[in-house]
Amino acid sequence: MTTGDRPPAADEEAPEARAAAGSIGGAPEEFLRPAQAEKPPGNGPRRKHGKNRRRRKRRGPVYAPGTGPRFAATAGPQSTDPIAAETPRPVAPRTAGGGPFYAALDLGTNNCRLLIAAPREHGFRVVDAFSRIVRLGEGVGQSGSLNAVAMDRAIEALKICAAKIRDRQVTRARLIATEACRVAANSLVFVTRVKDETGLDIEIVSQEIEARLAVAGCASLVDSHADGVILFDIGGGSSELVWIDLAGTSDGRRRRMADRVRAWMSLPVGVVNVSERHGGRHVSPESFEAMVVEVAAMLGAFPEVAALDAAVATGKVHMLGTSGTVTTLAGVHLGLPRYDRRRVDGVWLSGGEVRNLVGTLAAMDYEARVANACIGRDRADLVLAGCAILEAFRRRWPCERLRVADRGLREGVLVEMMAEDGVWRGRSGRRGEEPGRHD
């Protein structure tokens, strides 16, 4: 799973927006507002803001709550938006008051993405980021192996990541690879090459760990007033589905989302392998439907599927998508002249809006998709496969609300590392909440 088919540009080196972190790794959970504050569709209750909101504005940007060291060298002027994008500022080496810095890298089937962050009083501050489409999994579905050209592309991107990690004097890093490396017969050869040529140690993570990290990265966007959430990530080579069950609980804000996961499933379908099988550039209505049917046939094997079907039927379950497919749909929905994660992250879409957006994209030809500022040439041949996967999910579970997350695995990795190091441990006791435990 990766958000590798997401906008923005294919080669991105500016820090990305501050993504609100969940508490799966150890920081107690708080549901902070996303980059924009659009009201959820439907009749869901509005969240009240009082003194807590004013305090957060005075303190500056926050992610997960808790206390920890303050780092003057990375502070600079603070935005009142807790999850606002910013321009990189010069960062001092790790001297007194300067560090430490953590790095999280997600090498997916389609994209290579890096975040570097420093712990803050209530979470972390992104100080550097990088994203490049490398299509590491290109052709793996047919050959069963990573091809040499794709490996070269990935290693060139990883060299840039390695330089950033060195320049920022990162003290702790976790560098994960997902589906393409999981299934490729020569993945260990590739990992060895990466170590030899870049000095980076790549960890190939399991599907279960990938699903857990997605929950950690997106937990703060869960509507705690809902009875449940279907979290999904449509990646390049696989897609993960997680059912977070909140029904019958009154302490949804205080317990970790990891403790709410009732069932999960990893599907061997993503935007790269589905488009390779059915075509991505020129997609007829028949081939689009074939993609939907292929994915829909797999969903009956979801654990406790009958119980999830029944929960969705109550109308009290919403979807939460952390994939590039949904961020693209949100960008098109908002009519953005160029992709802006501050506008997209956290936006709510109704079921009807999602249906109309999927229909709009499916009706576009390849040239129209290339010309769209929120799609572009790098994703024009992949986005309809993502729409077909999403459509299969929605046909099985027709939720009336979908929340869009421009955050995911990297944010989850950062939260888990910082939680393991206890950077937020001090404040949780004052809040009367148990700090989350890394499982």
The CATH number assigned to the domain holding 101 equals 3.30.420.40
Task: Say if residues 126 and 116 touch (Cβ distance below 8 Å).
Answer: yes
Structural domain contains residue 3: no
Task: Say if residues 349 and 23 touch (Cβ distance below 8 Å).
Answer: no
What is the spatial distance between Cα 65 and Cα 431, in angstroms, rounded to a whole number? Answer: 9
If phi > 0 it is left, if psi is from -120 to 50 it is alpha, else beta; for residue 383 that is alpha
CATH number at residue 348: 3.30.420.150
Q: What is the pLDDT of residues 228-286, one digit of tens each?
A: 999 999 998 999 999 999 987 655 455 678 788 999 999 999 999 999 999 999 999 99
Structural domain contains residue 96: yes
What is the spatial distance between Cα 143 and Cα 430, in angstroms, rounded to a whole number? Answer: 56
Question: Looking at residues 167-196, what average pLDDT do you find?
Answer: 96
Strand intervals (E) in 235-374: 239-245, 261-267, 317-321, 348-350
**Model confidence at 25, in pLDDT bands (50, 70, 90)?**
very low
- Judge if 148 and 79 occupy the same domain: yes
- Judge if 194 and 226 occupy the same domain: no
Structural domain contains residue 4: no
- List phi, psi (to 5°) of 376: 80, 170
Question: Looking at residues 121-129, what average pLDDT do you find?
Answer: 86
Who has greater pLDDT, 33 or 138? 138
What is the spatial distance between Cα 354 and Cα 346, in angstroms, rounded to a whole number? Answer: 15
Identify the three-state secondary structure at position 43. Answer: coil
How many folded domains does the chain comprise? 2
pLDDT of 103 higher than 90: yes
* Rg of the chain, C-alpha, whole Å: 20
- List phi, psi (to 5°) of 68: 180, -170
Who has greater pLDDT, 404 or 3? 404
| Residue 89 confidence (pLDDT) | 39
| Residue 255 confidence (pLDDT) | 67
| Residue 64 confidence (pLDDT) | 35
Q: Which residues of 20-58 are buried (b: 16+ CB within 10 A; e: fewer)?
A: bbbbbbbbbbbbbbbbbeeebbeebeeeeeeeeeeebbe
Tell me the β-bridge partners of 177.
107, 204
- Judge if 37 and 96 occupy the same domain: yes
**Model confidence at 313, in pLDDT bands (50, 70, 90)?**
very high
Q: What is the pLDDT of residues 41-96, one digit of tens each?
A: 554 444 444 444 444 443 333 333 332 333 323 333 333 222 233 333 334 344 33
Structural domain contains residue 437: no
**Model confidence at 21, in pLDDT bands (50, 70, 90)?**
very low
Task: Say if residues 235 and 270 touch (Cβ distance below 8 Å).
Answer: yes
| Residue 41 confidence (pLDDT) | 56
Match 């046939």 to its residue by tokens: 297
Structure tokens at 81: 């938006």
What is the spatial distance between Cα 23 and Cα 17, in angstroms, rounded to a whole number? Answer: 19
What is the spatial distance between Cα 123 and Cα 27, in angstroms, rounded to a whole number? Answer: 8
Task: Say if residues 238 and 268 touch (Cβ distance below 8 Å).
Answer: yes
| Residue 189 confidence (pLDDT) | 97
Among the listed residues 184, 201, 133, 379, the one whose alpha carbon sits nearest the alpha carbon of residue 280: 379
- Judge if 300 and 379 occupy the same domain: yes
What is the spatial distance between Cα 95 and Cα 102, in angstroms, rounded to a whole number? Answer: 15
- Judge if 170 and 283 occupy the same domain: no
Question: What amino acid is encoded at 254 in this protein?
Answer: R
Identify the three-state secondary structure at position 39. Answer: coil
Q: What is the pLDDT of residues 353-410, one digit of tens each?
A: 999 999 999 999 999 999 999 999 989 999 999 999 999 999 999 999 999 999 989 9
263 CB burial (10 A radius; 0-12, 13-18, 19+): middle
- Judge if 188 and 239 occupy the same domain: no
How do 317-321 and 401-404 pair as beta strands? Answer: parallel
Structural domain contains residue 435: no
Identify the three-state secondary structure at position 129. Answer: strand
What is the spatial distance between Cα 63 and Cα 23, in angstroms, rounded to a whole number? Answer: 10
Among the listed residues 34, 36, 112, 124, the one whose alpha carbon sits nearest the alpha carbon of residue 75: 124
- Judge if 238 and 132 occupy the same domain: no
DSSP state of 171: S
244 CB burial (10 A radius; 0-12, 13-18, 19+): buried
CA atoms within 13 A on the CB side of 142: 9
* Choice among 119-128, 288-297, 424-433 with the minimum mean pLDDT: 424-433
Structural domain contains residue 5: no
Among the listed residues 248, 382, 342, the one whose alpha carbon sits nearest the alpha carbon of residue 35: 342
Mean pLDDT for the chain overall: 79
- Judge if 326 and 270 occupy the same domain: yes
Structural domain harbouring 355: 222-404
Q: What is the pLDDT of residues 127-145, one digit of tens each?
A: 999 999 999 999 998 899 9
H helix runs in 4-114, sequence order: 51-59, 72-75
Q: What is the DSSP string of 333-350?
A: HHT-SS--HHHHTT-EEE
Question: What amino acid is encoded at 266 in this protein?
Answer: S
Structural domain contains residue 316: yes
Who has greater pLDDT, 260 or 38? 260
Match 């061997």 to its residue by tokens: 268
**Model confidence at 425, in pLDDT bands (50, 70, 90)?**
confident
| Residue 117 confidence (pLDDT) | 95
**Model confidence at 336, in pLDDT bands (50, 70, 90)?**
very high
Predicted TM-score of the model (pTM): 0.74
* Choice among 14-18, 160-164, 180-184, 215-219 with the minimum mean pLDDT: 14-18
